[in-house]
Amino acid sequence: MRIKILFVFLAVASVCNAQYSFSGYTNPEEWDRSVYLSIVEDYRKMSGVYSEQIIAKTTADSTGYFEFKGNMLDAENRIYRIHVDRCSEVQQGINHFNGHCNDSEALLFIAKNTDSLKLPLSFGDQVFCSVESNNPKANAFVKIDSLKNDMRFAYGEFRSEANRKLNNKKWFKTLQSFGKALNEPIAELYIYSYLSDRSSDLHSYYVEDLKQNDYYDHLKSRLETAYPNATYTQQYTNELEADRYMLAASTGHTPSNWNVLLYIILGLSVILNLFFLYQFWQRHQSKIDDLKSKLSKQEQVVLEHLLLDKSNKDIAEALFLSVNTVKSHTNNIYKKLNVQSRDDAKSLFIK
């Protein structure tokens, strides 16, 4: 029994003390000592610096060392960014407009609330070249960026239209396959956002691929399984539906005549139901007006209180009348409405 209690205590203690630690070094001679931690909930805003994404700020010491720690992050994997820049507090609002910042360095990584993360300097004092983490998914974006650098080198080898087209076809499939092999759907979104970006040379291949490749539906299933409540999943679902709708419209695959007829019938049905409801309300309101017209002004006021289930005493106090006067008005109301009780009276006015 004592052993079981000990295990429970250790389990609870580990949960309560679970926290993240993201640390690293920057070059204090090159960068401002302010270091920022952001959460990226919109995968279209992975590249750049957005002030609304920042969740923590720290200051590096004289050696360039910094650390973020706490227990406020999500328990599931999410996309985070650490960045440094040379902008002052005053300049940031201007220089970071729409996420654009030429004077910054950033690293994207995947983490959760229990992860530790170290960002060592590379040779040449570049920042954030690699990630050491207890989370095997942390380096996914670094791996993708490395592959994209290989792609840029291949494009630059021969600067011709023929070479560009061949590379477009090759690297589209290569990036897609690489993302799937990472076995981390939110890392795949990094590649998807690049391939589907309308400013990318690969966008035309994405449009054609979307017509016949079931890869995108499988990615949606992987996201729904791994991250059913994450914003990334809903964003991807909405974008995929929108792209397919525009693709259908551009190819003339608009809704059939039968679908249009069905929509018209449904619309007319809604309109008719609303019309009938309005007519019923009008008839009921007319009936109420006719019934009230049989009563004097004072009796109408007493009736309103009766319909609110107020006692004779409450009505008398509210209207500054005696209880006997209220009873007299009530009896007159029953006679004129041809009812025997309050419930009968309420049934005439409340439906």
Digit-coded pLDDT (tens) for 12-62 = 444 445 689 999 888 877 777 889 999 999 999 988 888 889 999 999 998
Helix, strand or coil for residue 62? coil
Digit-coded pLDDT (tens) for 326-338 = 888 888 888 888 8
Q: Say what the pLDDT of residue 223 is.
A: 95
DSSP H or E stretch at residue 12: helix 2-16
> Class of 294-349 per CATH?
mainly alpha
Q: Say what the pLDDT of residue 227 is.
A: 94
Q: How far apart are CA 318 and CA 305, in angstroms?
A: 9
Q: How far apart are CA 338 and CA 348, in angstroms?
A: 11
Q: How far apart are CA 56 and CA 310, in angstroms?
A: 58
* Residue 275 or 315, more confident: 315
Q: How far apart are CA 10 and CA 12, in angstroms?
A: 6
Which range, 85-89, 117-121, 124-128, is most confident?
Answer: 117-121
Q: Tokens representing 127?
A: 């920042």
- Give the model's confidence band at 125: pLDDT under 50 very low, under 70 low, under 90 confident, else very high: very low
Q: Say what the pLDDT of residue 133 is.
A: 92
Q: How far apart are CA 107 and CA 82, in angstroms?
A: 5
Q: Tokens representing 125?
A: 């004092």
Mean pLDDT of the chain: 81
Digit-coded pLDDT (tens) for 70-83 = 998 999 999 999 98
- Give the model's confidence band at 8: pLDDT under 50 very low, under 70 low, under 90 confident, else very high: very low
* Residue 243 or 265, more confident: 243
Distance between terminal CA atoms of the chain? 63
Neighbours of 71 (CB within 10 A): 13
Instruction: DSSP for 243-296, please give it.
Output: HHHHHHHHTT-PPPHHHHHHHHHHHHHHHHHHHHHHHHHHHHHHHHHHHHTTS-
Q: Tokens representing 319?
A: 């209207």
What is the CATH code for 16-135?
2.60.40
**β-bridge pairing 116-119 and 104-111:** unpaired
Average pLDDT (301-311) is 83
